[in-house]
Structure formats: structure tokens, C-alpha cells
């Protein structure tokens, strides 16, 4: 194994060394050897119910399509293809010795609501969005999209089992999501004015996918689903053992950080060349490389840009899962010294995410370290 120094005098070998934990949940970063993971499901996936919070994050050219299909099921071809790809991913992970768990299927067409609003569901495809794992703590996220209000319930049977086995189980305050929480006059800030996010500071909200974990340091972007109130709540919840750093990117419609900034191993950071103009100061001693442009694709991307190709999954400091047809990314990752595992995932990407989104690393063989 190649040995190199990382900030804080921690070596990659030391950072990945086996540590016995009494909890079934143990994950502090994005790269320690993966032992257990939740993989999402595509069954019953629907377009999100139309709302200003959805419009604010969509690439402009996709708004009309999503508005027309809002609340309706994704095409059968997309669902069937995504189901096959998720099963293929689960099979790859199991062959690599990783324990795979899956959420329950839910009826996403069933109406629900809270005082002042009603909605229907979305999907159970992206566990990375709804749950944040920090060490032994499984944290339910207070999500800003009304269509995702009860999405967490599909994972509750798993959470109960993890809790019964010794894990911590936390939940941020459940939001009200009243009309007053949303700003219908949100703006990208591309006319020289400051960006106005579609969500206010009325109550804390955040998606877990707006956070990237690097041991004692977590990086977060304020976005159209994550507000400063939510960031402050998590900072206080985690306490002094962790440092949360807010970062900003050149993203007109920010939602989720893992298509902009992706650490692959201690000392190696992959960035989006269009969004990350200034490297966060903490990574000044790391080797930073830019992701290759996303390749052309046949399947539509309904909910995200082509930069979803950055959304790879690291199995350990040597192995990375990359989309099967994304040869530019596979070659770039391999040239960096990683072993690349290819997996078809184009239909799943049509749902709005990729490997990192589709998985939640419940247990990685490692310990809490400082890499900066």
C-alpha cells in the first residue's frame, strides 16, 4: 500500500487501520474501508410535487419538463433500468465484502400534509439525502422539500435495528414548512445582486448531502435546502469534537455538495472546475484535481446537471466506483492511482443522483482523525 503523509501527521494507512467498535454504526469520512451500506430503491419513484423550492434547484432547461410531470411516476423504462442498476451495485458491493441493507418500499402517490399544505411523496432512492452518519450517530435530517417530509419512514425499520444494536439515533427538529418559510422572490444573484435563497431562517432545515465528512472536519454549503439555522443546529448537536466549515461555490442553484467537492482519500480532493474557483483553505496541502467534463448520454437527466458524474463512491483509499460509460472519469480516477470499478448507472442518474447519493455508508473500518 502506498504510504503518504496527510495533514496532521496522519498517514493514509493509519487513518484506515482497523478499530473495533461496539456500535453497528461507525463512519467518520468518505474513504475508510466500507463494511456496511444502505442502498436505495427505485420502486415507486415519482417526480416531486411542484413547489417553488423544487423550481429553485432545477437547471432552467428542465423546469418545464418537471413541472408538467410533477407528482407523476417516472417513466417505466427509467424505473426498471434504475432498479436493475441498483441491484447490480448491491451485488458488486456484496462481492467486495460489504453488507448491504435496503429501505422499505412506500406508496409515494399517497397524499399527506401538515397545517397549511398538502403534498405527495418522491422516492426512497437517495439515503444520502435524508440521513447523516457522524461516527456512531445516525441523524435524521429536517428536509426543506414538502414531498420528502415522510421519506425517512422507509428507513425507520433499519434505524430501529441499528438503535437496538447500540447505535445512537438522533433527529433534528421536524420543520413546519409553512408558506412563510419559502421566498417566492428567490434569485440566482447573477445580475450583480446577492443570491436570495428560496428558504428562510424561520426554522432549521438541511439535507445530509450538503455535507462532506473528513474526520473531525465537516464541510457544508448553504443552499436552497440547507440554511444557516440548520448548520448551527448540527454544529451544536455534534459538539466540540467536530468542526463545521461553510464553503461557497459558483453554483447558481446550489443543492448538495457532492457534485462539487469530493474527497476520495486522505490528501486527494476532486473538484468541479465550473463551480469551485477557490479551494477551501483547509485543503491547501492536499493534491487537488478537476473532474473531466461529463460525457454525452442517451438517458435524460430530469433533476440535475451532467456534473452528477462526480458523484462517485469510494470503497477504501484504493477503490472507487464509477459509472460504466463514463470513460473520462474512469481514466482520470485510474491515472490518480485508484482501482476503478465500473457499474452501469445511467437510468438511476435520471432520478437526480448517482453512487454517492444512492448509498449511505453506515459502517467504515476506521476511527476519528484530524486530516487538517
Round to whole Å and give the CA distance between 29 and 9.
17
Round to whole Å and give the CA distance between 225 and 57.
9
Round to whole Å and give the CA distance between 356 and 354.
6
Contact, 323 vs 344, CB < 8 A? Answer: yes
Set 51, 224, 256, 356: catalytic member? 256
Say whether 207 is catalytic.
Answer: yes
Set 32, 207, 210, 251: catalytic member? 207
With CA atoms as reference, report the closest residue to 171 among 103, 106, 129, 234.
234
Helices marked H in the chain: 12-15, 52-55, 63-69, 76-95, 127-130, 156-164, 228-238, 327-335, 346-349, 355-358
Set 214, 316, 357, 361: catalytic member? 357
Contact, 60 vs 188, CB < 8 A? Answer: no
Q: Which residue is listed with cell 413546519? A: 176
Round to whole Å and give the CA distance between 195 and 248.
12
Say whether 256 is catalytic.
Answer: yes
Say whether 343 is catalytic.
Answer: no
Catalytic residues: 207, 256, 357
Amino acid at each position: 500500500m502506498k504510504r503518504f503523509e496527510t495533514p496532521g501527521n496522519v498517514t493514509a494507512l493509519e487513518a484506515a487501520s482497523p478499530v473495533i467498535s461496539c456500535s453497528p454504526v461507525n463512519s467518520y469520512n468518505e474513504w475508510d474501508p466500507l463494511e456496511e451500506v444502505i442502498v436505495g430503491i427505485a420502486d415507486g419513484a415519482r417526480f416531486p410535487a411542484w413547489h417553488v423550492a423544487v423550481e429553485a434547484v432545477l437547471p432552467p432547461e428542465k423546469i418545464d419538463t418537471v413541472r408538467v410531470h410533477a407528482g407523476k411516476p417516472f417513466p417505466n423504462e427509467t424505473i426498471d433500468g434504475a432498479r436493475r442498476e441498483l441491484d447490480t451495485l448491491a451485488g458488486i458491493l456484496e462481492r467486495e465484502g460489504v453488507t448491504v441493507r435496503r429501505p422499505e418500499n412506500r406508496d409515494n402517490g399517497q397524499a399527506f400534509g401538515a397545517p397549511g399544505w398538502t403534498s405527495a411523496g418522491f422516492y426512497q432512492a437517495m439515503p444520502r439525502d435524508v440521513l447523516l452518519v457522524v461516527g456512531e450517530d445516525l441523524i435524521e435530517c429536517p428536509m426543506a422539500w414538502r414531498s420528502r417530509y415522510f421519506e425517512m419512514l422507509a428507513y425507520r425499520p433499519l434505524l430501529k435495528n441499528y438503535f437496538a444494536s447500540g447505535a445512537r439515533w438522533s433527529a433534528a427538529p421536524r420543520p413546519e414548512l409553512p408558506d412563510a418559510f419559502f421566498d417566492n422572490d428567490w434569485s440566482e444573484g447573477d445580475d450583480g445582486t446577492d443570491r436570495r435563497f428560496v428558504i428562510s431562517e424561520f426554522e432549521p432545515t438541511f439535507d445530509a448531502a450538503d455535507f462532506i465528512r473528513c474526520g473531525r472536519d465537516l464541510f457544508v454549503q448553504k443552499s436552497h435546502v440547507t440554511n444557516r439555522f440548520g448548520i448551527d443546529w448540527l454544529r451544536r448537536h455534534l459538539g466540540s469534537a467536530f468542526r463545521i466549515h461553510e464553503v461557497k461555490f459558483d453554483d447558481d442553484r446550489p443543492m448538495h455538495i457532492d457534485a462539487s467537492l469530493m474527497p476520495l482519500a486522505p490528501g486527494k480532493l476532486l473538484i468541479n472546475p465550473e463551480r469551485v474557483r477557490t479551494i477551501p483553505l483547509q485543503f491547501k496541502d492536499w493534491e487537488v484535481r478537476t473532474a473531466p467534463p461529463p460525457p454525452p448520454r442517451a438517458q435524460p437527466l430530469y433533476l440535475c446537471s451532467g456534473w452528477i458524474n462526480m458523484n462517485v463512491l469510494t470503497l477504501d483509499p484504493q477503490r472507487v466506483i464509477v459509472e460504466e460509460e463514463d470513460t473520462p472519469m474512469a481514466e482520470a480516477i485510474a491515472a490518480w492511482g485508484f482501482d476503478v470499478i465500473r457499474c452501469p448507472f445511467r437510468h438511476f442518474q435520471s432520478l437526480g443522483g448517482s453512487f454517492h447519493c444512492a448509498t449511505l455508508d453506515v459502517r467504515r473500518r476506521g476511527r476519528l482523525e484530524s486530516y487538517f
